[in-house]
Amino acid sequence: MFQVGDKVVYPMHGAGVIEAIEEREVLGEIRQYYVMHLPVGNMKVLVPLNNVGTLGLRGVISKAEVQGVLQVLKDEAVVSTLAWNRRYRANLEKIRSGNILDVAEVVRSLAQREKDKGLSTGEKKMFENACQILVSELVLAEESEEIQVRQWLSKVLA
């Protein structure tokens, strides 16, 4: 169980800080929720405590683990021969996993594909979403500003 002030990652949404634990009535049932603030995008999200395991909520990586993300981003992207729809589904599953290394892999492969052949509209949106998820966790892990992390990411992917 997480506490107020913990830095956590909510797969498909990104990383944030738990600001409070509140009880709310939904459909006649009183449930407890984490109130999570996502600094990248400046959103608040309510996460039901009884679904934390199912949703994949986890702690933010450490500063030491950022090096693993950097390595994934620097590795040579494997050129996928899958049709765009299968490639899209495979990338979506990686993002949904909540694993930052999988998300970094998606960012790397889509960045490479964009340089080589360009991206479809759906893949462009996925790329932006994956970058936002990655940036949001790196901002909290590195205790840095979003603009600095985005610049760092651009340099690494260049």
Burial class of residue 95, CB neighbours in 10 A (0-12, 13-18, 19+): buried
For range 95-117, the mean pLDDT: 91
Q: Are residues 111 and 127 in contact, defined by beta-carbon separation less than 8 angstroms?
A: yes
User: Which sign, positive or negative, has the C-alpha torsion 124, 125, 128, 131?
Assistant: negative
Specify the amino acid at residue 114.
E
CATH number of 66-157: 1.20.58.1290
pTM: 0.86
From CA 143, how far away is CA 73, in angstroms rounded?
20
Q: Tens digits of per-residue pLDDT, 8-55?
A: 999 888 999 999 999 998 888 899 999 999 987 788 989 889 888 888
DSSP classification of residue 49: G
Check residues 85 and 114 and name the one with the higher pLDDT.
Answer: 114
Q: Are residues 18 and 60 in contact, defined by beta-carbon separation less than 8 angstroms?
A: no
The answer to whether the 7-59 and 66-157 domains have the same CATH topology is no
For range 90-103, the mean pLDDT: 92
b/e 134-145 (16+ beta carbons within 10 angstroms → b): bbbbbbbbeeee
Q: What percent of the chain has pLDDT over 70?
A: 97
From CA 70, how far away is CA 106, in angstroms rounded?
13
Q: List residues bridging with 45 in a β-sheet.
A: 36
For range 85-111, the mean pLDDT: 92
- Is the model's pLDDT at 79 over the cut of 80? no
Domain ranges of the chain: 7-59, 66-157
User: Which sign, positive or negative, has the C-alpha torsion 60, 64, 65, 66?
Assistant: positive
Residue 77's pLDDT is: 67
Fold of 7-59: Thrombin, subunit H (2.40.10)
Q: Which two tokens stand for residue 141?
A: 């892990």
Residue 82's pLDDT is: 73
